[in-house]
A and B are shown apart, each in its own frame.
Chain A
Amino acid sequence: MPHPKLPSRYDCIVIGAGHNGLICAVTLARSGRSVLVLEAAARVGGAAPTCEFAPGFRVSAGAHLLHLMPAELLRELKLESHGLEWAAQRMGTTALLAGAAPLTLSHGAADQQGLSTADAAAYAGYTARMHRFAAALAPIFSKIPPRLGTTAWSDRLALLRMGWQIRRLGRRDMREILRIGAMNVYDLLEENFDSAALKGALAFDAVLGANFGPRSPGTVLTLLYRLAAESAAGDSGLSQPKGGMGALCNALAKAAGAAGAGIRTQAPVARILVEADRACGVVLESGERIMARNVISNADPKTTFLKLLGPLHLDTGFVRRVHHMRSRGLAAKLHIALNRAPSFLAVSEAALRGRLLLAPSLEHIEHAYNHAKYGEFSAAPVMEITVPSINDPTLAPAGQHVLSAIVQYAPYALKDGWEKGRQRFLDTALDTLERFAPGLRGCIVAAQVLTPADMEQEFRLSGGHWHQGDLAFDQILMVRPVPGAAQYRTPVAGLFLCGAGCHPGGGVMGVAGRNAAHQVIKSGWSS
C-alpha cells in the first residue's frame, strides 16, 4: 500500500520475493510501514519454489525439505492461517548401502542390521553431545550479530553473551566444543565410530550444499551450524509442506498481502537509486522508477552490491571483499518424473516417506569432492533423495511420482562446460540411482538437472550457491557476508540486505529476513 501523501513513495522496497524477502516484508508491513516487494520472476519463492518440470509433475525446484525455520518464527508468521499445510513432518533419514541393509537414523538411535553395539552406544552419546552444543549455539542465530571493533556496550554485551553460551555448557563440554570446533568432520567421526556407513551418513550433513569434503577444515563447524539451526527450529524435524516448498512462500505472500504489503512479480530491478549517498528507490528493467525510504535486498550480496548498486557507490576495499566472497555452488538438483512409485532395495515404504542418503562412507564423499576441486564431477556422486509425491500426491498425476535429489558435487564452473557435461551428469546420476532402485530407469517419464549454473540463471543467484555464499569460519556471524555489511546494514544508508548471504545463512531458515526487518525498524528511515 503506497504512502497516502506520496503515492509513489514507499517506506520500504524489498527486492526479491524469496522466503527471506517475504518474511522481511511481512514483519515490516505488520510494524505499520508501507512495503512493496519486487520480484523478477513470474512467481514468488526465490530459490525455494515449486515448479512443474514435466506436464503434471511438480517438484520443489531448490531446497526440498524444511527443517531450519525456527518454530517461533513459524508461529509468529501464522502461516497455517494463510494456507500452509504439512504433507509430512519429523521425516526419518535412511542411508542407502550397496549390498547391505540400509541404516536408519533418528534422534538418539541408529539402527542397522549388523551395526555394532559399540557404535550404537557411541551414536547415542555423540548425538546427545552434539545437540547440547547445538542448543548452546542456537540463541546466537536469532540475534543481529554484534559488530567487531566498536566500543558500544550492546556489541560487547552480545559478544559476552556468545561467550557465556559456550561457558555455561560446563567445563567438560566447553573444552570439547573448543577442541572439535575447528576440526574436520572426518577426524571427528573417525574418533567416534567404526561403521563406515554411519560415518558417511553423519558426514553428509556437514558438507551438504557446501564447498567442502569431509576432510576440509571447518566441517565440524558447518555440521554444528546446521544442528544449531535445527535446534532452534524445534522438534518438527525434516518437514515437507503440502504443495512443495513453493507453498511456504505462497503462504508468506498471502501473509504479506494481509499485512498490507504489495507484491509485484515480473518486475526485475535494474538498479538501486542513490541520492545524496542514501538509497532512495529502484529503477526497474522496464525503466519505471519507484521511490522508497529504505531498500532491502533479498538478492545475494554480489548481485546487490556489484550489479544493482554498483561499485561507484562503494569503497574499493569493500568491493574487494564482496568480490572475493566465496559463492560458487557445488550442489545440483535432479528431478525425475516416474510412471510408478520407485522401489529402493531393502527400503521400506515408511522409509521412502523420509529422506534417503547416498553417502556410503567418508572416503566416498571425499572422492566425490576431489573431482569438484578440479572442475569435474565424480562418477560416484553423493545424494540426498526424497520422493515427495508419496507424502503429497498432488505433486504428480494419480499413481505417478516425482523424485527429487540433491546431487553433489557439481562444480559451478565445470571444466568442459555444462553444455557438454549436462547429459553425462544426468546419466551418471541415473546410473547411480539405478543401482539402488533397479528398474528405475524403465519408468522415467521425464528428467531434469539443475546445475549451479542453471540455478544462477533461474534464481538470479550469483554462483548458483544455495546459501548465497559458503558458510565457513570467515563467512559467518559478524563477518557474513563481509565486514561492513554484517548487521543487515550496508555502507550506503537506507540500503539493507535480508537474504541468506547474511547471518545466519540459508537453507530456508527465514531468520535473516526477520532480523533484517528488525534492523530496518531500528535504524531505517520511515515516515
Chain B
Amino acid sequence: MTENVASHFEQPLLRTPFHQRARALSQVDSFIPWAGYTTVDVFTTVEQEYFAIRNATTLFDLTPMIKYRVVGRDALAYLNRLVTRDVAKLQPDRVAYCIWCNDEGHLIDDGTIFRLGDSEYRICTAERQIDWLLDSGLGFDVQISEVTEQIAALAVQGPTSCAVLKAAGLTGVERLKPFEIGCFTLDRYTMTVSRTGFTGDLGYELWMEPAQAVEIWDALMAAGRSRGIRAIGSQALNIARIEAGFLSPQVDFVSAEHTIRTGRDRSPLELGLKWAVDFNKGHFTGRRALLAERQRGVQRQLVGLDIAGNKPAHNALLYTDGSAKREIGSVSSAIWSPTCKRNIALAMVDAPHFRIGSTVWAEIYLSRELVWERRMSRARVVERPFFAPQRRRATPPADF
C-alpha cells in the first residue's frame, strides 16, 4: 500500500492487490473508480461475464468494499443500537445483512455484519462512514477502525463455485451454510470464507491478506479452468444483483448522510426492508421515528416491476395509466433479465400503487439511431427477488 500512497498525485486512484491480474485479463480496457480504487467495469463483454455468473464460476475483486473492525466489551450493544436487526441473534462465524438509519429513521447504508469472535465483528459496506460509526460509539466500550486496505477480498460466485474452491484445495467448503463463515487454507495461505454474495446465486466471498492475494487468484484460476471460471466486472454483477432484487446505494437509495434536498431520504419501510427492522429488540437509532412512520403508513415503497416488452425502463417515470397524466413514481434500476427472460426493474412507487399485482405505466425512451421514441409500457408490481434458484441455499451444493 505504501507504493499507492507515494504515487498519490500521479495515480489518484488506488490499485487493489489484484490489479496486475485484472490489467492482464482486460480486453476492452474498461476501468471505473470505486471507493477510491480503480476497478474493472467490463473485462470482455457484459453478456459473457453475466452468463458465467449463472452458469459457471466468476471472480470479482471486492477489495474496495469498506470494512470496519468492531471490537470491545460493548461491541454487541453498540451494533444493536446502530443497526435495525437484532445482532444478539447473530452467532459466531455467521453473517447478517443489516441496515442502519439516522435519527429520522432514514437509511444511511446497508451492509453485512460478520461475527468473527465473541466480541469481534466486521462491518462490510459500500460507503465510508467512520464519523457516524465513531459517533455511534460515544458512551460504549468499543473500538472501531477501518481495515479496508488490510484485507483483500474476492467474490467467487456461480453454480460451479463450490466445486472450484474444493478443487483448489478448500476442503470442507461445501459444508458452509448460507451466511456462515469458515477458515480455510489454500496451499500455505489461510483465508476466511463466507458463503455470501451479491449475485443471488451459489457463491462465496474470500477474505485474505493482500500479500497473498495474487497467489490465491492464480490458484483459483488454475483450479477453475475446466469449470469455466472467468473474471467479471461491475456491469455483469449489476445485472445479477437486480435479478436477485438487491439494492445498490446511490442507485436505489441515497444515503441519508448524503442527501441535500428534503424528502430524498428513504426509510427501510419505504425500501421494502421491514423484515430487517426488529422493533422488539430494544432501542436503536431511528426506532422512534420508524415506529411513528409504521403507524402513519408509508406513502411510497420500493417494488419490483415486470414490464411489457423487452426495452429496459432506465430511469423511467411511472404513471397510473397510459395517458401519462398522473405521475406515481420512477424506476431506479432496470434491465432485461437474460435468465428470467423478463423486462424487470426496481422502482419507487406511491401509495396505493405499490401493492403486489398493481398495474402502473412506464414511460420508456428509446434511441433508434439518434431518433428518440417514447413508449408507454404496462408494468405489473411483482414480488422480489426475480431470480432465486434453489442452488443458492443448497448445502452441500451440487458437485460439477
Cα–Cα distance between A314 and B81 once the two chains are bound (Å): 9
A320 and B135 alpha carbons, distance in the complex (Å)? 6
Check B271 for interface membership: any CB of A closer than 8 A.
Answer: no
Query: Are A310 and B139 also in contact (CB < 8 A) when A277-B283, A316-B103 are?
Result: yes
List, in ascending order, chain B residues with CB within 8 A of A318's CB: 103
With the chains together, A405 CA to B262 CA distance in Å?
A: 50
Q: Would you call B132 an interface residue if the criterion is a C-beta within 8 Å of the partner chain's C-beta atoms?
A: yes
Query: Which of B77, B286, B288 has most chain A Cβ within 10 Å?
Result: B288
- Closest CB in chain A relative to B285 CB, distance in Å: 4
Tell me the residues in window 299-354 of chain A with beta carbons closer than 8 Å to chain B beta carbons.
306, 310-320, 323
Interfacial chain B residues near A310, Cβ < 8 Å: 139
Q: A317-B102, A319-B138 are in contact. Are A491 and B81 (CB under 8 A)?
A: no
**Cβ B138 vs Cβ A320 within 8 A:** yes
Within the complex, what minimum Cβ distance (angstroms) separates A130 from chain B? 39
Contact: A316 with B283, CB < 8 Å? no
* Contact in complex: B288, A317 (CB < 8 Å): no
Q: Which secondary structure dominates where chain A touches chain B?
A: helix
**Least CB distance, B66 to chain A, in whole angstroms:** 18
Interface bits A463-483 vs B (CB < 8 Å: 1, else 0): 000000000000000000000
List the B side residues contacting A491 at CB < 8 Å: 288
B179 within 8 A of A: no
Number of interface residues of B (CB under 8 A): 17
User: Residue B34 at the A interface, CB < 8 A?
Assistant: no
Residue of B nearest to A310 (CB): B139
The complex places the Cα of A231 from the Cα of B395 at a distance, in Å, of 78
- Asked whether B82 lies within 8 Å of A316 as measured between CB atoms, the reply is yes
Instruction: Name the distance in Å between B159's Cβ and chain A's nearest Cβ.
Output: 41
- Answer whether residue B140 sits at the interface, using C-beta atoms and an 8 A cutoff: yes
A83 at the interface (CB under 8 A from B): no
Contact pick for B136, options A313, A316, A484, CB 8 Å: A316
Q: Which of A277, A313, A484 contacts B103 (CB 8 A)?
A: A484
B119-138 residues with Cβ-Cβ distance < 8 A to A are: 132, 135-136, 138
Asked if residues B138 and A323 are in contact (CB atoms below 8 Å), the reply is: yes
Q: Which of B102, B132, B283 contacts A312 (CB 8 A)?
A: B283
Establish whether residues A315 and B135, one from each chain, have CB atoms under 8 Å apart when the complex forms.
Answer: no
Distance A311 CA – B138 CA, assembled complex (angstroms): 7
Bound complex: CA A316 to CA B103 (Å): 7
Q: A315, B103: Cβ atoms under 8 Å?
A: yes
Q: Is the CB of A311 within 8 A of B81?
A: yes
Give the residues in chain A near B282, CB-CB below 8 Å.
312
Residues of B contacting A306 in the complex (Cβ-Cβ under 8 angstroms): 138-139
In chain A, positions 178-215 with a C-beta closer than 8 Å to chain B are none
Of all chain A residues, the one with the shortest Cβ separation from B102 is A317
- List B contacts of A311 (CB < 8 A): 81, 138-140
Chain A, interface size category, equals 10 to 19
CA A310 – CA B132 in complex, angstroms? 18
CA distance A484 to B289 in the complex (A): 12
Flag B84-123 by CB within 8 Å of A: 1 or 0 each.
Answer: 0000000000000000001100000000000000000000
Decide: A317 and B139 in contact? CB cutoff 8 A: no
A316 touches B139 (CB 8 A): no
Most buried by B among A310, A316, A323, A484: A316
CB 8 Å contact bits of B375-398 with A (1 = contact, 0 = none):
000000000000000000000000
Name the one of A315, A319, A320 contacting B288, with C-beta atoms under 8 angstroms.
A315
Bound: A309/B252 CA distance, A = 37
State the CA gap A310–B139 with chains docked (Å): 7
Residue interface mask B282-312, A partner, CB < 8 A = 1: 1101111000000000000000000000000
Would B283 and A313 count as touching, CB distance under 8 A? Answer: yes
Which residue of the partner chain B has the closest CB to A314?
B283
CB contacts under 8 Å to B, within A405-446, are none
Which chain A residues numbered 265 to 320 have a C-beta less than 8 Å away from chain B? Answer: 277, 306, 310-320
B161 CB to nearest chain A CB (Å): 38
Give the complex CA separation of A317 and B77 in angstroms.
17
CB-CB nearest in chain A for B289: A315
CB-nearest residue of chain B to A317: B103
Given known contacts A277-B283, A306-B139, A317-B103, is B81 in contact with A312 (CB within 8 Å)?
A: yes
Question: In the complex the two chains form, is A317's CB within 8 Å of B285's CB?
Answer: yes
Report the separation of the CA atoms of residues A369 and B299 in the bound assembly, to the nearest whole angstrom. Answer: 54
**Given the complex of chains A and B, what is the CA–CA distance between A319 and B135 in angstroms?**
8
Note all chain B residues with C-beta closer than 8 A to A277.
283, 287-288
Kindly provide the distance from the CB of B144 to the nearest chain A CB, expressed in whole angstroms: 13
Please report the C-alpha to C-alpha distance between residue A484 and residue B283 in the assembled complex, in whole angstroms. Answer: 17
Q: How far is the CB of B100 from chain A (nearest CB, A)?
A: 9
Closest to B105 in A: A315
User: In the complex, what distance in Å separates the CA atom of A311 from the CA atom of B82?
Assistant: 11
Closest B residue to A321 by beta carbon equals: B103
CA distance A277 to B280 in the complex (A): 11
Contact digits for B250-291, partner A, Cβ 8 Å, 1 yes 0 no:
000000000000000000000000000000001101111000
Interface residues of B in 337-353 (CB under 8 A from A): none
Interface centre among A310, A317, A320, A323 (most CB of B within 10 A): A317
Contact with B along A491-508 (1 / 0, CB 8 A): 100000000000000000
* B87, chain A: closest CB distance, angstroms: 13
CB distance from A491 to the nearest CB of B (A): 6
A311-B139, A311-B140, A484-B103 as given contacts; A316 in contact with B285, CB under 8 Å: yes
By the criterion CB–CB under 8 Å, are B286 and A315 in contact? Answer: yes
- B140: A residues at CB distance < 8 A: 311
Interface residues of B in 40-87 (CB under 8 A from A): 77, 81-82
Q: Give min CB distance, B302 to chain A, whole Å.
A: 24
Give chain A residues whose Cβ lies under 8 Å from the Cβ of B102: 315-317
- 0/1 string, A64-87, CB within 8 A of B gives 1: 000000000000000000000000
In angstroms, Cα B288 to Cα A484, docked, is 12
**What chain A residues lie within 8 Å of B283 (beta carbons)?**
277, 312-314
Q: Chain A interface (Cβ within 8 Å of chain B)?
A: 277, 306, 310-320, 323, 484, 491
Given A311-B81, A316-B102, A316-B132, 7 new contacts (CB under 8 A): A277-B288, A310-B139, A311-B139, A316-B81, A316-B285, A317-B102, A320-B135
Residues of B at under 8 Å CB distance from A? 77, 81-82, 102-103, 132, 135-136, 138-140, 282-283, 285-288
Q: Can you pick out 6 interface pairs between chain A and chain B where the beta carbons lie within 8 Å of each other? A: A306-B138, A311-B138, A312-B139, A313-B283, A320-B135, A323-B138
Across the A-B interface, give the 9 residue pairs with the lowest CB-CB distance, nearest first: A311-B139, A315-B103, A317-B103, A315-B285, A316-B136, A316-B285, A320-B135, A313-B283, A319-B138
